[in-house]
Structure 1
Amino acid sequence: MDLVRRGRSLSVSGFLLGGAIGIISSTQTWLTVQRADAGADILVPGASAVPLLAPLSLAVLALGAALSITGRALRLVFGVLAGATAPLLGWTTLQLLLTAPVSAVRSTVTETTGLAGGDALSDVVKAIVPTAWPVIALVGWVVLLAASVVVLLTGRAWKKGGRRYATDAAPSTPTAGPVDAVDSWDELSRGTDPTR
């Protein structure tokens, strides 16, 4: 019962934390390329190593911000979307950690050295060393996955959200008599055109 009561705050916090970790980590160094030609190490940011990292992290942040005011159906949709995003980013990050492929650093190495092509890159790249940021991102994806499970389990029981953003129903008949500026603003707030 406690999970149901706190489900909304846990889910929104999990979405926002996962998205924030993703955005922050996309700007940090994920991979360090040690060069075979004794040049300076090449630092590869997360956004270059995993091109989907920044856009999907932004989408997760948007889902987290909207989750607190959505209705029941959209909550479940958001939970499913986040539940699909977390494993996708997690798998991509895990592969990067385990294999450190040259394809993940290709664009940054080419931009830095001016060399392109598999043979030229293999002559430049001596080793690819992951930093701590992919591991931190993995923690963010685990948090996001847990938050999406909480949404799917408890989202139906949340109180209706968004009431403070709903407008009052417009009156069925326009007001008779003279209309002053305050009445005009009130009618505009209810979605009625006072000039008609």
Structure 2
Amino acid sequence: MTRRGRTLAVVLTVLSGAVGVLSATQTWLHVALAGGASDDLAVAGTAALAVSTPLCLAVLALGVALSIVGRVLRYVFGAIAVVIALVLGYLTVVVVATRPISAVARSVTDATGITGDEPIAQLVASISLTVWPFVMLVAMVVLLVTGVFVLVTAHSWSTSGRKYRTDAAPVASATGPLDAVDSWDDLSHGTDPTAGDDRR
């Protein structure tokens, strides 16, 4: 169960980040301009919410790292996942609920050359939503649940593989020969693997 818990957390975290990145690259908003000044403008998630892509990429990195870190970092990464989910989820809700001019201002400026919140607000006739902001919200809900799951269950996960451990290497058995990996591990921890060897 402990191994399954780690695997589930890693998969869901990576999936949340990947879906978030996908959503951010798609069109979130369509902007109709007053007086037919231009065709409707398509505003991508990266333009409507600039932090969406960096935060989702951070989630991807968290998911990968979660598969190898020790107990303390599991809690740290779980907490970071919760914070990112709350922040990005809240900002997405703001875009969905209020459709602020700030979310489309850059796209309108690029299309028309007009700058300033008031002139842009006067130029914008309507702003409509696509499905992609809601996809981002679903991804953030999954990430939030996963982060909480990590915080609750991380203590019961099995330790990561030997090659990722940073604690002291176990003392080699006196009855068995050291192989090349054991000797290298001893050297990396400051121990001379030949110290107890009587051979000259």
Structures share fold, TM-score greater than 0.5: yes
- Residue 103 of structure 2: aligned partner: 104
Contact map agreement 1:70 1:162 (CA 8 A) in 2: no
Q: Calculate percent identity across the aligned residue pairs.
A: 44
Matched, 1:71 2:70: yes
Report which stretch shifted further, 132-141 or 111-120.
111-120
Contact map agreement 1:14 1:146 (CA 8 A) in 2: no
CA distance in 2, matches of 1:44, 1:122: 15
**Superposed, which structure 2 residues align to 1:37-116 within 5 Å?**
37-38=35-36, 39-116=38-115
**Superposed, which structure 2 residues align to 1:93-172 within 5 Å?**
93-165=92-164
- Residue 180 of structure 1: aligned partner: none
Q: Please list every run of 5 or more consecutive structure 1 residues that lacks an aligned counterpart in the other structure.
A: 173-182
**CA shift in 2, pair 1:29/1:119, >3 Å:** same
- How many residues were matched structurally? 178
CA distance in 1, matches of 2:162, 2:60: 22
Pairwise CA RMSD of aligned residues? Answer: 2.4
Contact map agreement 2:29 2:129 (CA 8 A) in 1: yes
Q: Please list every run of 5 or more consecutive structure 2 residues that lacks an aligned counterpart in the other structure.
A: 173-179, 191-200
CA distance in 2, matches of 1:66, 1:90: 22
- Residue 26 of structure 1: aligned partner: 24
TM-score for both structures, normalised by structure 1 = 0.82
**After TM superposition, what 4+ stretches of structure 1 lie above 6 angstroms from structure 2?**
none
TM-score for both structures, normalised by structure 2 = 0.81
Shift of 1:119: 2.9
**CA shift in 2, pair 1:107/1:187, >3 Å:** same
CA distance in 2, matches of 1:133, 1:105: 15
Report which stretch shifted further, 105-114 or 62-71.
105-114
> Could you give the per-residue CA deviations for residues 169-192 of structure 1, whole angstroms, max 9, x where no partner exists?
5x99xxxxxxxxxx8xx8599549
- Residue 7 of structure 1: aligned partner: 5
- Residue 175 of structure 2: aligned partner: none
Shift of 1:6: 2.3
- Residue 194 of structure 2: aligned partner: none
**CA shift in 2, pair 1:99/1:35, >3 Å:** same
Shift of 1:7: 1.4
Report which stretch shifted further, 155-164 or 90-99.
155-164
**Helix, strand or coil at the partner of 1:43:** strand
Report which stretch shifted further, 104-113 or 114-123.
114-123
- Residue 193 of structure 2: aligned partner: none
**Helix, strand or coil at the partner of 2:159:** coil
